[in-house]
Amino acid sequence: MYVNIQQATKLTGKSRATITRHIKSGKLSKTDDGIETSELMRVYGELIAPDDTSLSQSTDESTTTREQWLMSHIDALQRQLIDQKAEYVEREKKLFAMLAHQTPEQKEQVTQPEPRQQEASLLWRKLFGRH
């Protein structure tokens, strides 16, 4: 959950000047979205419960929207992963089926040279006396 500097002061009990100084010095990280509450907890420890309900309402709305967006993307990625796994399994089954149905003659054809190559080899041997 991201908060602005004013909300961060309420959560940490620190002054605006302290938080701004820590951001400038690099002790506290701030993004375009604001300051993440986990970052505040890392730097300042346990946070103070906010008295202002508007803080929790505004952050709940943005969190809900962000969570919905993330969940929809996670679902899409999970479906994509399942589809890719299914394609992989199907491809593997086809390859195994092709290997299983190959006859011994077909296997020999792959390893035996073509008849023309054999004839040329015999002619070469006859001409130069190698048997």
On whether residue 93 sits in a domain, the answer given is: no
Confirm if 71 and 35 have CB atoms less than 8 A apart.
Answer: no
On whether residue 36 sits in a domain, the answer given is: yes
On whether residue 9 sits in a domain, the answer given is: yes
On whether residue 103 sits in a domain, the answer given is: no
On whether residue 27 sits in a domain, the answer given is: yes
Q: Containing domain of residue 44, as a range?
A: 1-51
Query: What pTM value is reported for the model?
Result: 0.38
Domain total in the chain: 1
Tens of pLDDT along 106-127?
555 555 555 566 666 777 777 7
On whether residue 8 sits in a domain, the answer given is: yes
CB neighbourhood size of 3 (10 A): 23
Tens of pLDDT along 84-108?
999 999 998 888 888 887 655 555 5
d(CA 67, CA 97): 45
